[in-house]
Amino acid sequence: MVQAIDNIVTEAPLRGIRLAIGPAEALLPEESAGPTHEEQLVEQETAGHQRGRDEAAAEYEPQLAALRVELEQAKTEGANQQLQAIEETVQAQLAARLNELEAELIEFSTEAAIRLVHGLPISTGVIEAAIRETLEHCEQDAEVSVHLHPEDLKMLKSHQSELLKDSPHQRRVRYLEGKDVSRGGCLVETRCGVIDGRRETRAALLREAVSA
């Protein structure tokens, strides 16, 4: 095996000597070869494809943006319509409930008033008020008969009620005991019929008027 000489020393000029590739030169990388024709075609095709995608995206992006805006508007309008429908439903339900509460309140107030009146102790004033109210419905009659509970008639007489006194300027009124008349009320008999002024009858008429 021939060994390489690292240093050569000579006084004469060197002629006809060729340099051999040493270990260091052998380790240098070879120059890389350029891309092949097929690789160039693939690269061009890839670049063209990407360029086409970019151009298509640039062309359709405004249309896509407009479509997104339309979709958002449609969603907003749909949500507004749903909210409006919900609000109308709630308003209708609230109005119906308020009407129910109003009717219940009127009925409650009526019952409270009836109980309050019925809870009042029987007095001359209560009896006289019932008689006057009933007589207002028969002003054209010259003669009437007022039927009262025996205890009520007795109370009027004991307190010398003004209603029992005869007056030449008023119609003739007779006060009689009535077995079917409850305390605090009266029945007025006229030529045309009987006017019911009993407490229970007036309460029933009041309830009927309220519920109508």
Q: What is the DSSP string of 68-106?
A: HHHHHHHHHHHHHHHHHHHHHHHHHHHHHHHHHHHHHHH
| One domain for residues 164 and 192 | yes
How many structural domains compose the chain?
A: 2
Contacts of 131 (CB under 8 A, 6+ apart): 146, 148, 163, 186, 188, 197
For the record, the structure tokens of 20 come out as 């051999």
Supply the pLDDT for residue 204.
83
Based on the fold, state whether residues 171 and 129 are members of the same structural domain.
yes
Q: 139 and 202 share a domain?
A: yes
83 plus 63 within the same structural domain: yes
Does pLDDT of 84 surpass 60? yes
Lowest mean pLDDT among 144-148, 181-185, 194-198, 202-206: 202-206
110 and 136 co-located in one domain: no
The pair of three-digit structure tokens given for residue 157, joined into one six-digit string:
């007489």
Q: Looking at per-residue confidence, does 36 or 148 come out higher?
A: 148
- Owning domain of residue 110: 44-119
* pLDDT over threshold 70, residue 120: yes
pLDDT digits (tens, 9 = 90+) for 31-67: 555 667 666 766 777 777 677 777 777 777 787 778 7
In a domain, 18, yes or no: no
Domain identity same for 102 and 154: no
Residue with tokens 């060197």: 14
Q: What is the pLDDT of residue 191?
A: 85
**Looking at residue 8, what is its pLDDT?**
54
Do 125 and 207 have their domain in common? yes
Per the domain annotation, does 35 fall within a domain? no
Among candidates 111, 133, 104, which has minimal Cα distance to 204?
111
